[in-house]
Structures are given as structure tokens and as C-alpha cells.
Amino acid sequence: MPKATVERLPLYLQCLQAMGDVESTVSSEELANTAGVNSANVRKDLSYLGSHGVRGVGYNRLELCDQLRRALGLIEKWSVVIVGIGNLGSALANYRGFDASGFNVVGLYDADPAKRGHQVDGHYVKSMDDLKLDIKEHDVSMAILTTPAAAAQGVADLLIEAGIQSILNFAPSLLKVPNEINCRQVDLATELQILSYYQAAHQA
Amino acid sequence: MPKATVERLPLYLQCLQAMGDVESTVSSEELANTAGVNSANVRKDLSYLGSHGVRGVGYNRLELCDQLRRALGLIEKWSVVIVGIGNLGSALANYRGFDASGFNVVGLYDADPAKRGHQVDGHYVKSMDDLKLDIKEHDVSMAILTTPAAAAQGVADLLIEAGIQSILNFAPSLLKVPNEINCRQVDLATELQILSYYQAAHQA
DNA sequence: ATTCGCTTGTGAAACGAATCACGATGCCCA
DNA sequence: TGGGCATCGTGATTCGTTTCACAAGCGAAT
Ligand SMILES: NC(=O)c1ccc[n+]([C@@H]2O[C@H](COP(=O)([O-])OP(=O)(O)OC[C@H]3O[C@@H](n4cnc5c(N)ncnc54)[C@H](O)[C@@H]3O)[C@@H](O)[C@H]2O)c1
Ligand SMILES: NC(=O)c1ccc[n+]([C@@H]2O[C@H](COP(=O)([O-])OP(=O)(O)OC[C@H]3O[C@@H](n4cnc5c(N)ncnc54)[C@H](O)[C@@H]3O)[C@@H](O)[C@H]2O)c1
């Protein structure tokens, strides 16, 4: 499945879920409009799912949701840990939207002993020493990284050694990871800078 | 300038800054390695800046940083407001990394009167009624949107009416905005779902 | 049954971006 | 001063993605 397609599937899922239960069927045209893409593109994307729409009618909404979830590997819930429980890490730990999208936060970790008393969203913040064992024991395969940039690579190495296979990194630092590890970067400053470019260009 | 290039410029800037002051000159090869892209790609990207590297030597690091900043419109600081001061909004308001990247948070806004007493990072949380006037008065052109998804479109409309030109939206909801408004979406759930896809695929 | 209108699925074409490959060029040192 | 080396700048090529265009298929209406 093309990379570009994979990155659009969550968008389709989101659009379909936002439609509410009124419609039992959607056309590629309709989905394309709400998702902001070309309808042929939608059809080609969905064709990779082995999905069968009905000509003249469209796609069954619920069935399509189900197929998207299956394709994305969201049938089973993934267990996730968060490392670095500062401003951002705490906000993420408190976020209620994980569950709905197929993820389950099972542990919070921080290097700072001062954070350890704290409890965030029902989880005690644990020490980095607990990390490895917890990951192995609970078969955790995803981690969210919200430490300062300087600590990110070290923590990533630790996570990988412990058996983590996917990392979502919020620290503004490019992680070096082995090929078989999935890693995505979310960088606020980058996003703002891209906006800055277009805005500056627009004004000139 | 190609869209793909624009999205890489902040990365180059970040890499160059992370290099420290040891090196006064960098080759495209070196920059390519730290940024994780092809060196020819780096050269082509930088050629759009009208940048002049020196054959046989490389690019002057500081000069290149400067050119990147200029191209991205980061010479002057942009004023930014944050709307929706809940978990995530507060974390962003507390974030110290804005300044370094060329942005300046000038106001926090929330619809909930209960939030108004609070002070976050030296800013009082203000009412939505103040938003429009503040934006006009201080010539604010960028906004960060961290309200619940249901409120996002309404707030976006308000912001645009008040004169905002770029929006960074963290709510999981696709905003409908006029063509001339720049809008970027950061969606945590989407990112995790993409990771989920690759991990599930890898295991199968 | 047959026709009509709509929507899918997909080959072909167009497009944009990444990569290759190499000539051009500046620096350093003998 | 000239030769060698490193690196840039960029045309040509390849690759991946998007869009177009239309035949095929289904359902509904007559
Ligand atoms: N806060 C934001 O809005 C924001 C926005 C964009 C990016 N970021 C990035 O996200 C990261 C976190 O930001 P923040 O504002 O939450 O910072 P923070 O300082 O509030 O939190 C960082 C946490 O990481 C912990 N930590 C430090 N070293 C560690 C280690 N080696 N192992 C485990 N934990 C460690 C600290 O104890 C602290 O609790 C930073 O890299 C920042 O650049 C933050
Ligand atoms: N917290 C996270 O980690 C996280 C992660 C990903 C995405 N998000 C998204 O970011 C958004 C904010 O998340 P949160 O956890 O901070 O939620 P939150 O409920 O803590 O904060 C939302 C804030 O928005 C304010 N608000 C509501 N309606 C408003 C309106 N019409 N105008 C102005 N302000 C309004 C509320 O008073 C509240 O303070 C949500 O859309 C959420 O889905 C959050």
C-alpha cells in the first residue's frame, strides 16, 4: 500500500465517524469532499483495502469504517507508554481521545524523582528503572516521547532495547533508529515555520 | 518553491542549529546525513534560496541559517494567540521553545469563564470577547487552536473574521477555510494510527 | 424486461518530486 | 602557477502519486 494512501486512511476514518449515523452509505465523491481530496484518489485508496463499493450506490459506511480499522491494525487496542511527564507529557496523559482511536495508555515514566509522587489521570508516574520490565511484561509496543530534545535519543535507545517497536517523538530532535523501528516526528516549531513561509510569501 | 522543499527547510535549520558552533562550514553530504535525506536533494532545496555554496568547500553555516530564516519569514517575530486553554493549550502556552523559533505568544483565550482567573506563563487567560480587538490591535496573524473538535470550526471562523491568516489546528476536525488562509493540522490520533498500520503490517 | 442515471474500479496520462550523474568551479598545496 | 581534490549546481532520468476518463455494473423506475 502506498505511503501516501496509508497517511490518508486515518483521515477517511475520522470523516466517516464524524458523519454520524444518519447515512448508511457514502459515495467516493461525498467522502472526497469532506476529506478535501480528489474522488478518484479516494476510490483508488479504498481499492487497496480490497473494499467493494457498490456501483451506482457507494460504500456501506459502517462496513467501510470496519475495513479501515482492520487495515490500520486498530482491531486490537495497542498499549502505549509515555516518557517525560512534563507540560506536554501530562497533557497527553490526560487526553481522553486515545481510547476512541484504539490506544491505551498503560504507563507514565519520568527521570525526575520529584515527579514521582504525582498521579496523572489515574496513573502514578514511575521511574525509568521500571520502564524496561513493564514494557516486556505488558507487551507494550508503542511509546510517546516527550522529554527534552537532549534526552530524546538516549530514551529512544532505552525504549528500543526494551522492545518498543514504534515511537511518536515530540522532541525537536531527529532520532536515529534501526530500520525495523517505526518512528514519527511531531514538531510544533516546524509546523509554525511552514505556516510562516506561506504567510510571508503571501504578503510579499 | 516546491511544497516538499518548504517542508524540509525547518528541518535543515534545526539540524544546522544543533551542530553547534564548532563547524563554520557544512557540506550538502553532511547536512543530508543529519537530516536523513539525499544530498542531491539538499543541494536542490538550497539552490531555491539563491544560496551560494562554495564548490569544493560547502556552505557557510551561519550564512545558511540566516538564509533559511529569511526564506521562512522568520526575520521578524510573529505574534501568536492560543485559543482553548485546556490540557494541551496550557502545555503549549508554557512551552519555552517558541521564542527560539521565531514566535511570540501574545494572548490566551478560552470560552470558559472559570479559566479566566488563571494565569499561564505570565499571561492571563482572556475572554473570547477580547479576541477580535486584540488581534486587530496587535496585528496578530497566527493562531493555535486547541479547543474541542466540536468548537473548532466556529472558533476558526471567528479568528478569520478577526483577521488571522494562519491557523495551526490541534483539534481532530477538518477546518473549512477560504483559500487565502493557511491552515495546518496536527493530529495525534492520526499519527498513532499510521504507526499502528506499519507495526501491524510488520508483524503479519 | 429494458432503459436510465449514478457510481465504482482502473488503465492511461500528467504531474511533481527524488535520485542519478557529471560538468563546472573554487580551494589548497606543491 | 598548475594540478588534484572536494563539492556544488543542475540537466536528465526515474519513481511515486494524482488526476483524468471511461467502460462496467448495479439499482430503480417504467
Ligand atoms: N510543551 C509544549 O507545548 C511543546 C511543544 C512542542 C514540543 N515540545 C517538546 O516536547 C518535549 C517536552 O516538552 P515539555 O514542555 O513537556 O518539557 P518539560 O520540561 O515540561 O518536560 C520534560 C520532562 O521530561 C523529563 N525528563 C528529562 N530527561 C529525561 C530522561 N532522560 N528520561 C525521562 N524523562 C526525562 C523531565 O523530568 C520533565 O518532566 C520537549 O522536547 C519540547 O521541546 C513541547
Ligand atoms: N490533550 C491532548 O493531549 C490532545 C492530544 C491530541 C489532540 N487533542 C485535541 O486538542 C484539543 C484540546 O484538548 P484538551 O485535552 O486540551 O481539551 P480540554 O477540554 O482540556 O481543553 C479544551 C479547552 O477549550 C475550551 N473551549 C471549549 N469551547 C470553546 C470555544 N468555543 N471557544 C474557546 N474555548 C473553548 C474549554 O473551555 C477548554 O478549556 C481537543 O480537540 C483534543 O481533541 C488533545
C-beta neighbour count of A180 within 10 angstroms:
8
| A80–chain B nearest CA distance, Å | 10
**pLDDT value, residue A200:** 95
Question: Alpha-carbon distance B80 to B123, whole Å?
Answer: 13
* Per-residue confidence band for A158, with pLDDT thresholds at 50, 70 and 90: very high
**pLDDT value, residue A128:** 96
CB contact under 8 A, A188 and B193: no
A78-190 has the same fold as A3-71: no
CB contact under 8 A, A7 and B72: no
pLDDT in tens, A177-196: 999 999 999 999 999 999 99
SS3 A1: coil
> Which residue has the least CA distance to atom 17 on ligand 1?
A86
- Distance from residue B128's CA to the centre of ligand 1 (Å): 29
B140 lines ligand 2 (CB under 6 A): no
In chain A, what are the domain boundaries?
3-71, 78-190
Strand duo B123-126 + A123-126: pairing: unpaired
Within B95-187, where are the H helices?
Answer: 97-101, 128-138, 149-162
Q: What's the mean pLDDT in A61-66?
A: 96
**pLDDT value, residue B109:** 97
According to CATH, what is the number of the domain A3-71? 1.10.10.10
Contact A111, A138 (CB under 8 A): no
User: Closest-CA residue in chain A for B87?
Assistant: A91
B170 lines ligand 2 (CB under 6 A): yes
Q: Which positions 8-47 on chain B have a beta carbon less than 7 angstroms from any atom of strand D?
A: 26-29, 39-40, 43-44, 46-47
User: Closest-CA residue in chain A for B146?
Assistant: A91
* Share of residues in chain A with pLDDT > 90 (%): 89
Helices (H) and strands (E) in chain A, counts: 9, 9
**pLDDT value, residue B202:** 84
B46 lines ligand 2 (CB under 6 A): no
Report DSSP letters for A31-52, one per residue.
HHHHHTS-HHHHHHHHHTTT--
- Distance from residue A120's CA to the centre of ligand 2 (Å): 17
Q: What's the mean pLDDT in A75-90?
A: 96
- CA→C1' distance for A68 and D26 (Å): 24
* Per-residue confidence band for A122, with pLDDT thresholds at 50, 70 and 90: confident
* Residue entry with cell 507494550: A140
A54 beta carbon < 7 A from strand D? yes
> Which residue has the least CA distance to atom 15 on ligand 2?
B87
Q: Which positions 95-124 on chain A have a beta carbon less than 7 angstroms from any atom of strand C?
A: none
CATH architecture assigned to B78-190: 3-Layer(aba) Sandwich (3.40)
Q: Angle B123-B128-B134 (CA atoms, 0-180°, nearest 5)? A: 65
A156: which 3 cell numbers? Answer: 529512544
Q: What residues contact A142, with CB distance under 8 A and at least 6 apart?
A: A78, A79, A80, A81, A103, A164, A165, A166, A167, A168, B192, B195, B196, B199
Q: What's the mean pLDDT in A88-113?
A: 94
Element (H, E) at B106: strand B103-109
Ligand 2 pocket mutation pick from B170, B174, B186, B187 by most atoms within 8 angstroms of CB: B170
Nucleotides of C under 7 A from a protein CB: 5-11, 16-21, 24-27
**pLDDT value, residue A2:** 97
Q: Which of B161, B69, B47, B91 is nearest to A196 (CA)?
A: B69
| B119–chain A nearest CA distance, Å | 15
**Per residue of chain B (204 residues), what is the pLDDT tens digit?**
999 999 999 999 999 999 988 889 999 999 999 999 999 999 999 999 987 899 999 999 999 999 999 999 999 999 999 999 999 999 999 999 888 899 999 999 999 999 987 888 889 999 999 999 999 999 999 999 999 999 999 999 999 999 999 999 999 999 999 999 999 999 999 999 999 999 999 887
Strand duo B182-185 + B166-169: pairing: parallel
Q: Any idea which nucleotide's C1' is nearest the CA of B47? A: D9
B57: which 3 cell numbers? Answer: 568547500
User: Closest-CA residue in chain B for A86?
Assistant: B91
Q: What's the mean pLDDT in A110-120?
A: 90
* Per-residue confidence band for A22, with pLDDT thresholds at 50, 70 and 90: confident
User: What predicted TM-score, i.e. pTM, was given to this entire model?
Assistant: 0.96
Instruction: Provide residues with CB under 6 Å of ligand 1.
Output: A 83-89, 110-112, 115, 128, 146-149, 151, 154-155, 170-172, 188; B 91-92, 95, 97
Report DSSP letters for B147-162, one per residue.
S-HHHHHHHHHHHHHH
Q: What's the mean pLDDT in A120-136?
A: 93
Contact B127, B116 (CB under 8 A): yes
